[in-house]
Structure 1
Amino acid sequence: MTGGTPKTTISEYYEDGTVPWIVSGDIHKGEIFDCDKKITELAVENSNARYLPKDSVLIALNGQGKTRGTVALLRASNATCNQSIVSINPNNQRELFSDYLFYFLKSQYRQIRNITGDKDRAGLNMPLIRSITIPLPPLEEQKRIAAILDKADAIRRKRQQAIQLADDFLRSVFLDMFGDPVTNPKGWEVKKLDEVGVLDRGKSKHRPRNDPKLLGGEHPLIQTGDVAKSGGYITSYSATYSDFGLAQSRKWKAGTLCITIAANIAKTGILTFEACFPDSVVGFKPNQLVTTEYVQTWLSFLQKILEANAPESAQKNINLAILRDLDIPLPPIEQQIRFTNTVEKINELKRKLNNSSKLNKDGFNSLSQKAFAGEL
């Protein structure tokens, strides 16, 4: 069944709510023990929202990006969901185990999306969900398969947690060495960002930007999504410019700090190779007053503020003038260099963890295929 959305105009449906109300964005958690959005019991009584049994399997019918077709296990009691989610409540009489169903549907993510043609605005619906066929071994075999996959998935999750802990550690080191970059409690000298380096927008003069003549050559093209998902250092790319594309753009050197100013606001990544990027990305090259890693981490503390205050037309964006006018505290360059050395060590650890996570993911996917083909 699907859920519902209580009327947003009735404050009693939302104020001081205690009932977890799950939306599509929550499905990426995999297992849901709680969620940010809450509604009241009165809202449940007076809307299409329904209480969901614990261990229900949830599928996102639609949502932004790769959300459609994502699945999760509900571990919370007395939770509800909106209409963009379908919940499946395995019936023991049908001998279907929730965890087994979850892992099977998770293994079918691409196939589930393909049901709708994988169009950007396509959505799933109940008839399409009901059309999915499920291999159904005996209940005890389902539990055995689920237990094996759960152990394998736990290893992958621990790798991801370790990467997050590494990021949290760097932020703690920054605060310990330099203090809060917004309030500057250590009283460091302050300059404008354009006084500590050169800031320029990328170039993409030709229109339309998707003209086939621009693409498919040997020159790496970095876009906002590549920066946002880089994890700090840009080590790969998903598109290239031809010589024609390069002629209407500009190639930036390795070591350039890329800063997004549209769609993804103030996300950053340091180039590890020469690349072009469009005018939705700004390139920063430091002078002798700062290190690139110091500026990058400083910006990470400001990212939410810049995003919240970004003007919005078709999409949120900030301009070069806003970045140039930012006040940046300037601790001694020797301290910044020590911080940069720490960043490099932590990022080497993260690279190893990411490589290990990729191997774990590949191994997990292979294990899933064998499990649901009856070969485990």
Structure 2
Amino acid sequence: MEKYKIGDICEIVSGSTPKTENKDYWDGDLKWITPAEINEDSYIITDTVRKITSLAVKETNLSLFPEGTVILSSRAPIGKVAIAGCEMYCNQGFKNLICKNKINNKYLYWFLKGNTAFLQSLGRGATFKEISKQIVSNIEINVPDYDRQIEVATHLEKINKIIHLRRQELLKFDDLIKSRFIELFGDPDVNSKGWKECALSEKVNVVGGYAFKSDQFDEERGIPVLRIGNINAGFFRPVNLVYWHEDESLERYIVYPGELVMSLTGTVGKDDYGNICILGNDYGKYYLNQRNAKLEIMEGIDKYYLSQLLKFTQIKKRLTGISRGVRQANISNKDILNLVVPVPPMEIQERFAAFVTQTNKSKSAVQKSLDEAQLLFDSLMQKYFG
């Protein structure tokens, strides 16, 4: 296996943006892509949101890149990657890689896909980070023979499809639960079924987290400390876990499987806070870090009902719409307690809880399959690309 610099095996083409105020440049029939159109699941892109005119190409001197080009975002953010499924143009946020005979475009795609953190570490700039054409050109990649490249890319593609399908299955379960909620309880934003309403202060206690000293965390043993990244997805994620030794004085901040927790801090305008999570039994207990809260159920409301209710966009906005900062957004314990919500009869709430419990059993089986596929995928990426 030989090692090459990307600049030796690819032609690197940068993008450009025609003047947005010139109406003659836009609403044409030529495809023009931006980094915002590429997401985690992007692979082969065949269309773009915006189109430009031939006049824009001529007067702005845009470079056309051919079908099969590997599209790499070089800023805002660095590391998004896809393959052009047709000829197109792009904005200045890309360094596009037109592969020569030595390198297969799908093999290069997976190499870049598996090295996002490395690519981001190469960013330069004070206002925002960017990787230049020269930096991209000097990135080294191990290049096996061409048939082996195709074999590697095909293998990764198959596993990635399984991962994508499992994720889609999980989303369908979530949609099913949401549909059942609306069927039983109506639209919670307008309380379409006219249920009695009350402030959450009548139904729950809110316990804030403890300000653990980050320089004293243990990275291997102890009780896991729940930080925002562990609960913000709406379920427990054991990512970047840290631990704290057991301490009787911190009993108040212990959270057990099955309890409700919510993230309280995020970024203004982003959906990265106010997210509710029912903890699973990954661990026997957890400590709750600051800027998260535990919602202790008192009576008259079920945790599955409350959890789903707080996931509805308009209900959640009643909390996240209270911004206390220019860049950082915060929800206070008082905000949660003052939130007025519909409270249906417990008999119907319990019926919904039984449905969710049964559905979650199916979700768990799919989640296990997803975790296994992701583990295999990650190990193969490490094996192939280091």
Give, as a single letter, the amino acid of the residue that structure 2 aligns with 1:239.
V
Paired residue total: 358
How far, CA to CA, are the matches of 2:318 and 2:22 in structure 1? 28
**Residues 195 and 343 in structure 2, CA contact (< 8 A), matched pair in contact too:** yes
The alignment partner of 1:28 has SS state of coil
- 1:33-58 Cα distance to aligned partner (Å, 9 max, x none): 47896465477666686554333212
The yes-or-no answer on 1:329 pairing with 2:342 is yes
User: Displacement, 1:142?
Assistant: 3.5
Q: Which residue of 1 is the match for residue 14 of structure 2?
A: 2
> Does the 8 Å CA contact 1:265/1:306 hold for their aligned counterparts?
no
Change (3 A) 1:363 1:335: same
Shift of the 177–61 alpha-carbon distance from structure 1 to 2, 3 Å rule, reads: same
1:66-118 per-residue CA deviation (whole Å, 9 max, x = no partner) reads x64343223365352442x3221224xx343322221232244455456569x
Percent identity between matched residues is 23
| Cα separation, 2, equivalents of 1:48 and 1:321 | 57
Structure 1 residues 220 and 32: CA distance shift in structure 2, 3 A: same
Partner of 2:208: 201
Q: Which runs of 5+ in 1 are unaligned?
A: none
| Bigger mean CA deviation after superposition, 133-142 or 357-366 | 133-142
The question of whether the paired residues in 1 share the 8 Å contact of 2:319 and 2:336 is answered with: no
Q: Mean alpha-carbon deviation: is it higher for 25-34 or for 180-189?
A: 25-34
1:303 and 1:54, CA in 2 relative to 1: closer, same or farther beyond 3 A? Answer: farther
Structure 1 pair 179–58 and aligned structure 2 pair: CA distance change class (3 A): same
Which of 157, 161, 168 is the aligned partner of 1:154?
161
Give 1:131 deviation, angstroms. 1.7
User: Which has the larger displacement, 242-251 or 288-297?
Assistant: 242-251
TM-score (norm 1): 0.79
Q: Distance in 1 between matches of 2:188 and 2:144?
A: 57
Task: Give the residue type in structure 1 aligned to 2:67.
Answer: K
Partner of 1:71: 81
2:69 equivalent to 1:56: yes
Distance in 2 (alpha carbons) for counterparts of 1:133 and 1:343? 49
* Residue correspondence of structure 1 range 311-350 to structure 2 within 5 A: 311-350=324-363
1:274 paired residue number = 285
Residues 233, 269 of structure 1: 8 Å contact kept: yes
Rounded to whole Å, the distance in 2 between the matches of 1:304 and 1:2 is 40
For 2:273, the aligned partner's letter is I
Q: How far apart are the structure 2 equivalents of 1:76 and 1:266?
A: 41
- Residue 293 of structure 2 aligns to a residue whose secondary structure is strand
Change in CA separation of 1:235 and 1:130 when aligned onto 2, cut-off 3 Å: closer
- Distance of 1:215 and 1:13 partners within structure 2: 60
2:222 to 208, 218, 240: 218
1:143 and 2:150 matched: yes
1:255 to 240, 253, 258: 258
Q: Which moved more, 1:43-52 or 1:249-258?
A: 43-52
1:26: which partner in 2? 38
The structural deviation recorded for 1:334 is: 1.6
- Give the direction of change, closer, same or farther, for the CA distance of 1:69–1:271 in structure 2 (3 Å limit): same
Aligned equivalent of 1:298, options 305, 309, 334: 309
Q: Distance in 2 between matches of 1:45 and 1:315?
A: 43
Contact 2:204 2:337 in 1 (8 A): no
For residue 60 of structure 1, give the secondary structure of its aligned residue in structure 2: strand
Deviations 1:221-252 (A, max 9, x none): 111111113x4356777122346796597323
CA distance in 2, matches of 1:17, 1:168: 37
Which residue is 2:188 aligned to?
181
SS in 1 for 2:311: helix
Deviates more, 1:219-228 or 1:272-281: 272-281
User: Equivalent residue of 2:329, what SS?
Assistant: coil
Q: Secondary structure at the match of 2:328?
A: coil
Letter in 1 for 2:301: V
Q: Aligned partners of 1:317 and 1:34: how far apart in 2?
A: 40
In 2, the alpha carbon distance for the partners of 1:77 and 1:16 equals 17
Aligned to 1:303, what secondary structure does the other structure show? helix
TM norm structure 2: 0.77
Alignment-derived partner of residue 4 in structure 2: none
Structure 1 Cα separation of the partners of residues 265 and 177 of structure 2 = 26
Whole-Å separation in 2 of the counterparts to 1:276 and 1:55: 49
2-structure distance, mates of 1:295, 1:49: 53
Are 2:229 and 2:237, in contact at CA under 8 Å, matched by a contact in 1?
Answer: no
Q: Alpha-carbon deviation of 1:286?
A: 1.8
Could you tell me how far 1:182 is from its partner in structure 2? 0.6
Measure, in 1, the Cα distance between the counterparts of 2:263 and 2:86: 37
Task: State the Cα distance separating 1:267 from its structure 2 match.
Answer: 0.8
Aligned to 2:244: 241
